[in-house]
């Protein structure tokens, strides 16, 4: 990979830009439209949103107004937790496409595997959801389908009845939380692994990170994103300023040594920053 416009290739041959632009916690307003258009102007070609973020309309407007062909921007959205199951999934997908107001979706993910509303019958409900995903995919309304926050047992259950295997799994991944078992499962099943919260939600003051950043003449954010790429992940950083967007994209002119990768393992004692997929209270 030489730039954020370079791509991984999904198991169905679809190309997915190797660094995405995250929009979690961005409001649904003109400011967000302008931020996303700035990101596209800085070279980002992969925009990640979700129905639950409440900003799909802003994402769609930015994509439509950015001046590039629709085919040049990769757009991901995700199914919200209350709307699992075949019928609900179909209805929410239509809402998502109305919000985005674009011709098709590049990637659609099940946002969480075991929502609170379906805690006891999640396997059956996910089976219906995935059936809807497969039909939308086969109809050409979605270019690729996948999951988010799925651990091995969630994926095993889904694959029992799936006709089309998930192509992506989006997980919380950073040096504090490496999820080796889930990552290895995905790689064994040819799923691209996306990293949400790759910048540890801004918690970047660990002495080891500061030391390594100084060694390479890079910011801690650049070290964390480079760590993702060197592990074969697809990071989804957020940024609001052009300066940060450009900084987060400038991660292709160096490589972290194995010695420093090993040193970063001490952060694993700090653990995850988000909810666990089996116990999340939403």
Cα distance between residue 82 and residue 85, in whole Å: 9
Residue 179 reports pLDDT greater than 90: yes
Q: Interior CA angle at 173 toward 171 and 178, to 5°?
A: 115
Residue 125 has pLDDT above 90, yes or no: yes
* Number of C-beta neighbours around residue 265 at 10 A: 11
The token duo for 88 is: 């609900």
For 116-139, what is the mean pLDDT? 97
Answer for the pair 102, 70: CB distance below 8 angstroms, yes or no. yes
pLDDT for residue 16 = 98
Show which residues are catalytic: 53
Q: Name the β-bridge partners of 74.
A: 46
Report the pLDDT value the prediction gives residue 2, as an integer from 0 to 100.
96
Q: Is the pLDDT of residue 204 over 90?
A: no
Q: What percent of the chain has pLDDT over 70?
A: 100
What pLDDT is recorded for position 258? 98
Q: 10 Å Cβ neighbour count for 163? A: 10
Average pLDDT of the residues in 71-95: 98
Residue 195 phi, psi dihedral angles, 5° rounding: -110, 110
Domains, in order of start, for the chain: 7-270 (3.20.20.100)
Looking at residue 234, its pLDDT comes to: 98
CB 45 within 8 A of CB 5: yes
Please determine, for residue 121, whether its predicted confidence score (pLDDT) is greater than 90: yes
Task: Give the model's confidence band at 108: pLDDT under 50 very low, under 70 low, under 90 confident, else very high.
Answer: very high
Q: Model confidence at 65, in pLDDT bands (50, 70, 90)?
A: very high
Looking at the chain, list the stretches that DSSP marks H as alpha helix, in order from N- to C-terminal side: 30-41, 56-65, 86-100, 122-138, 152-159, 180-188, 207-216, 220-230, 242-249, 258-263
**Per-residue pLDDT at 191 exceeds 90:** yes
Contact 26, 237 (CB under 8 A): no
Q: Which of 212, 225, 205 is nearest to 264 (CA)?
A: 212
CA of residue 236 relative to chain centroid, distance:
6
pTM here? 0.97
- CA torsion, ordered 54, 60, 65, 66, to nearest 10 deg: 90
The predicted structure's pLDDT at residue 4: 98
**Average pLDDT, stretch 205-230?**
98
């Amino acid at each position: 990979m030489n730039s954020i416009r370079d791509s991984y290739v999904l198991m169905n041959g679809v190309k997915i830009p190797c660094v995405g632009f995250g929009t979690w916690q961005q409001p649904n307003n003109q400011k967000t439209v302008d931020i996303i258009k700035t990101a596209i102007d800085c070279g980002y070609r992969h925009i990640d949103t979700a129905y639950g973020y409440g900003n799909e309309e802003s994402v769609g407007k930015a994509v439509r107004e950015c001046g590039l062909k629709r085919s040049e921007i990769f757009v991901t959205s995700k199914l919200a937790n209350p709307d699992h199951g075949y019928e609900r999934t179909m209805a929410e997908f239509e809402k998502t496409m109305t919000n985005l107001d674009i011709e098709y979706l590049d990637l659609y993910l099940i946002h969480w595997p075991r929502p609170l509303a379906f805690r006891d019958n999640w396997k059956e409900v996910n089976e219906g959801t995935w059936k809807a995903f497969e039909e939308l995919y086969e109809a050409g309304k979605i270019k690729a389908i996948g999951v988010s926050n799925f651990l091995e047992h969630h994926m095993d259950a889904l694959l029992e009845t799936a006709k089309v295997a998930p192509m992506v799994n989006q997980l919380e991944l950073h040096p504090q939380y490496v999820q080796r078992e889930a990552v290895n499962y995905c790689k064994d099943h040819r799923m691209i692994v996306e990293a949400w919260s790759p910048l540890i939600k801004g918690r970047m003051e660990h002495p080891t990170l500061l030391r390594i950043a100084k060694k390479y003449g890079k910011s801690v954010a650049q070290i964390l994103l480079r760590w993702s790429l060197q592990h074969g992940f697809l990071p989804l950083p957020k940024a609001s300023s052009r300066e940060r967007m450009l900084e987060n994209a400038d991660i292709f002119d160096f490589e972290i040594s194995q010695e420093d990768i090993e040193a970063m393992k001490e952060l694993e004692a700090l653990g995850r920053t988000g909810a666990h997929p089996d116990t999340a209270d939403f």
